[in-house]
Amino acid sequence: MNWEDQIRMLATRAQAETPPRVDVAPEVLRVLASGQADPLTVGERLWIWLAAGASAVAIPAMAVAISVYNASAGPLREIMNSISWAI
């Protein structure tokens, strides 16, 4: 018998196990009634959407700004150097 057959046999034995009985209904209803499990409030949702929207705009804007800066920094510096006598 190979290792996998042994694992399968072990699993078959394990399947016969009876899990401990639980009665969670009172606690579940208590948690739901107390509002502890409430999803986010409207205000919280608004802030999350706002933050997500701001990030969605800011990240591409920053990427564009960096590429523009990289593209234009060299020529700008050359212009500055060429007219440095006037400053």
Partner 1 sequence: MNSVAWPTSRLTGLLHCARLGWAWALANVGSAESCDPHSATGDRADVEESRHGDPDAYRRLVERHQDHVARILWRFSRDRAVHEELVQDVFVEAYLSLHTYREQAPFSHWLARIATRVGYRFWKDRAKQKEAEPFSLAEWDQIAEDGDAIQSLEANQAAELLHRLLDQLPPRDRLVLMLRYLEGCNVEETARRTGWTKTMVKVQALRARDKLKKLVERSGMELT
The footprint of partner 1 (CB under 8 A) covers 1, 3-4, 6-11, 13-25, 27-29, 31-33, 35, 37-41, 45, 48-49
- Between 31 and 76, whose beta carbon lies closer to partner 1? 31
To partner 1, the closest distance from the beta carbon of 54 in angstroms equals 16
Please state, in angstroms and rounded to a whole number, the distance separating the CA atoms of residues 68 and 60: 12
Please state, in angstroms and rounded to a whole number, the distance separating the CA atoms of residues 85 and 83: 5
Please state, in angstroms and rounded to a whole number, the distance separating the CA atoms of residues 68 and 75: 12
To partner 1, the closest distance from the beta carbon of 3 in angstroms equals 5
